[in-house]
Homo-oligomer: A and B are copies of this chain.
Amino acid sequence: MPTKTPEKNSDDLEEGVVLRPRFDASGLITCVTSDAASGEVLMVAHMNAEALQKTVESGEAWYFSRSRKALWRKGETSGHVQRVREIRIDCDQDAVWLRVEQAGGAACHTGRRSCFYRAVEPGQTGAKLTFVEAERVFDPDAVYGKHGHAQD
């Protein structure tokens, strides 16, 4: 059934082997990060060109914080770094997928394993949220301080 062969043109966006990340107008690309072992999605964040390059070269996850407008080494404050097992890029090269091993067992600044700890369900008066992975692996106040930036 496959009629097209990959790599017909090495710099073809969808079928090539040249990395051509399509950063948006702000210079960012979306990154989804999942646990390499369980497949659980841990977080969605953004990378600029430097963050992507540092991630590829160092084997640890770097992002760009839109709120702090700064390059951000994941786990810099908490020690909960992400060791990168595999980096993937999607068909039109505007999204990155990191498969990581999460140090400390928690990716979310709230202290939970994943940022996606609530499910969206239909309700009588619109959608409602239900906590499905509410348990905290660490206490964010203890890790970041009560007045520290609660994200790393």
Contacts and interface: CB of A to CB of B under 8 A. Distances in A.
| Chain multiplicity (copies) | 2
Given A2-B111, A44-B32, A111-B2, A89 B17 contact: no
Q: Secondary structure at chain A's binding surface: helix, strand, loop or mixed?
A: loop
A97 B56 contact: no
A24 to B, nearest CB: 10
Contact of A117 (B2, B40, B91): B91
Interface of A: 1-4, 6-7, 14-19, 30, 32, 34, 38-41, 43-44, 53, 56-57, 86-91, 94-97, 108-112, 115-122, 126-132, 134-139, 141
Nearest to A31: B44
Nearest to A99: B41
15 contacts: A2-B136, A7-B131, A19-B120, A32-B44, A34-B39, A39-B40, A41-B88, A44-B90, A87-B120, A87-B121, A89-B118, A89-B120, A89-B129, A91-B117, A95-B116
